[in-house]
Each structure stands twice: as structure tokens, then as C-alpha cells.
Amino acid sequence: MYQGVGTVLLVSVPSSGVFFTTYEGLKYVLGASPAGQDGGGSKGMLPQAAVHALSSSIAQLANCAVVTPAEVLKQNAQMFAGPGGNDKRKGASSATVMVLQQLRQQPTKLWRGYSALVARDLPFTALQFPAFEWMKSVLLARREKEGRTTASREGGGGGVGVFERAWIAAVSAGVAGSAAAWVTTPFDVVKTRMMLEAGGKNGGGVKMNAFRVGKEVLHQEGVRGLFRGGLIRAALTILGNGLYMGCYEAAKLYLMEKEV
């Protein structure tokens, strides 16, 4: 049940670092987040939604270059069966090691499916982050207004704390991410088929690009085949994105307050 989990854990830190460093840097350069403000008004030529979509898309291109080899290893390790179809893998430490042994003669196969991963994650990211940033800003503005009203009435301090900020980010990311996940499910189906083909034994066959794989799935299984697993993907994205972005926003606010 946990085959390939080591590869996922190993790549999660560098891939997240590459994405958020690029995303936050481009947001600042393009003008969506002036220094000292989060989600402030745009000082550039582009509207905030365009800045968030462009920044997240470029960040995702860099992120996919790091993630693709790990995805290939993970998905082939999950599907790996030993000789004769059994899963004993005698003499091997893990399924991931055996997949690496299969791919070491053609290491470029580790990036098989990069185009499909980009095709899936680029529209997903470009849809998710503008919606996430907008929803987060609306909820934060409403909460800060309520906080100021309460503070003036009771004579206390207003504002949004770290844990409340995490909750708002988690809800925003979960809703935005689940909708984007459902819409981009066909790209995920194509990406998975291509990556599994990289570890297959029919290396001498015709190389399938993303368009041909999608056309084949559509021909054999119809539109329903392209959206296979869409509901569970959307449900998992609510949990995963909520936890991921909630922790990220809380950590960012905490570090900003410590710096001040």
C-alpha cells in the first residue's frame, strides 16, 4: 500500500522550495504583493488574477522538472510486480530500486511524461492560485473588518492570528483546488498512462505522446474514461491542498511576525 512513498518524501522538500521561491518572487516582481503586504493591490500593468496565474504557471514549469522523475519512479514502483507476476522481489531492497534498475540503461525515461505532467499541472495551477488568492483575500478582509469592529466595541486588539490565517488559507485552497482538480482530471489520466509506459517492457514500441494517449483513452473508454478517478482526486485535493497551503500560510505569517 505504501510502495513508492520514499520517493515522494524525498522530492517533496526540493520541489516545494522550487515552486514557492519562484512563485513568491514573481508575485513581487510583477507587482501583486508589494513589500510588507500580502495580496496587496497590483502596482504593475497586470491585474492580480493574471499575476497569480502567470507566476504560478512559471513556478510549476520549474517544479515539474523536479517532480517528474519522482513521479515516474513512484508510479512504476506502485505497479511493479516481480517475475511471473508475483511481488516477492527476492534479492531487491524495494520496488523503487528494481524500477531504477530497469531505467538505468535509459535514464532519460525518468522524464517521460514531463509534457503530460505540465499539461495537467499548468492548467490546474493557473486555475487554482488565482481562485485561492482571491478567496483568501475576501475571507481575510471580512475577518479583519469583523476584528476591527469587535476591537472598537470591546477595546481590545483586532487582526487575524496565525492559526486563523491557516484556517482561512486551508478553506480557500481546498475549495479552489478541488474544482481545479476535477476540471484537469483528463490530463492526470494521460500523464499516468504515459509514466506507466516508461517503465514497461515494450520499449521498442511506438512512443506515445500526450495527444495520442488521450485520443486512445477517449476512443476506447469515452469521456468517462478521461474523468476516471476525478471525484476521488477532487476529494483528496480538498484535504491535501488544505493542509499544505494552511501550513504554508501559517509558517509564512509566523516568520514575517518574527522578522518584524
**What does the pLDDT look like over 93-137, one tens digit per residue?**
566 666 666 666 666 677 777 887 888 789 899 999 999 999 999
Distance CA 42, CA 56 (A): 16
Structure-model confidence comparison of residues 93 and 215, the more confident one: 215
Q: Please state the domain count of the chain.
A: 1
DSSP one-letter code for 108:
G
**Quick count: other Cβ atoms within 10 Å of Cβ 115?**
17
pLDDT exceeds cutoff 90 at 19: yes
Domain range for 216: 5-259
Confidence of residue 34 (pLDDT cuts 50, 70, 90): very low
CB distance 95 to 79 below 8 Å:
no
Secondary structure (DSSP) of 157-181: --S--HHHHHHHHHHHHHHHHHHHH
Give me the numbers of helices (H) and strands (E) for the chain, helices first please.
Answer: 8, 0
Banded model confidence at residue 23, pLDDT cuts 50, 70, 90? very high
CATH number at residue 205: 1.50.40.10
Of 10 and 178, the one with more pLDDT: 178
Q: What does the pLDDT look like over 45-56, one tens digit per residue?
A: 788 899 999 999
Contact call for residues 136 and 39 (beta carbons, < 8 A) = yes
